[in-house]
Homo-oligomer: A and B are copies of this chain.
Amino acid sequence: MQTAHKTDPVSKLIYELSKLPGIGEKTATRLAYFILKQDESYSRNLAEALINAKQKIILCGQCFTFTDTDPCRICENPERDRSSICVVERPSDVFSVEQSGAYKGTYHVLHGILSPLDGIGPDELKLRELISRLGQNSNVREIIVATNPSVEGEATALYISRLIKPFGIKVTKLAHGIPVGGMLEYTDRQTIGKAMENRMELLS
């Protein structure tokens, strides 16, 4: 980016914004000029939110999601079902599952997936911590492995199910199928295949 080395404040703002994922120089420029048009309170609020979020956010000592309280709001909520742990790759996946409103148990964030080519083995993930949770809490009945359906995600799911087998706890994974509102025409072959395999009886 040519403007990166200029020292004027607008170019600097565009440069910092363009480091965000999916934000190219053109979008960063549009955002910067939008910000300049707003009241000063707008950029101050955003700046404060940035500093606050980064300074106050830690990892939950139990589930390792991002949180500003330890344990996090989910882990300390007495209404959450502690007999179920949903294992996800990243803190943002906790947010996604929460948005669905379909899950009332607890979480465990791995902070990555097994990827031998990238040098990420079991010790790089929060797997030891998961086993330690299972040792401390004998009420866990089910581990739902919600890693993404990539090759590495599936391999990680398989690894976890083998790791947990000695505990005699049920290990499940999320179902594959046609997305809600999705059209068969635009759905890939593998997904249709999985949806066919997992077909369910109507009016059963």
Q: Which residues of A line the B interface, CB within 8 A?
A: 8-10, 12-13, 15-17, 19-23, 27, 29-36, 40, 42-57, 66-68, 73, 90-92, 95
Alpha-carbon gap, A8 to B32, bound state (A): 26
Determine whether the beta carbon of B47 is less than 8 Å from that of A9: no
Copies of the protein in its oligomer = 2
Determine whether the beta carbon of B13 is less than 8 Å from that of A50: yes
Alpha-carbon gap, A20 to B43, bound state (A): 11
CB distance from A142 to the nearest CB of B (A): 26
Alpha-carbon gap, A146 to B49, bound state (A): 38
Determine whether the beta carbon of B92 is less than 8 Å from that of A49: no
CB distance from A199 to the nearest CB of B (A): 30
Q: Show 29 residue pairs from A and B whose CB-CB distance is below 8 angstroms, ordered by the A residue.
A: A8-B73, A9-B52, A9-B53, A9-B56, A9-B68, A10-B57, A10-B66, A12-B49, A12-B52, A12-B53, A13-B49, A17-B46, A17-B49, A19-B42, A20-B34, A21-B30, A21-B31, A22-B30, A23-B31, A29-B95, A32-B53, A33-B66, A35-B54, A36-B53, A40-B54, A43-B50, A44-B50, A44-B54, A46-B47
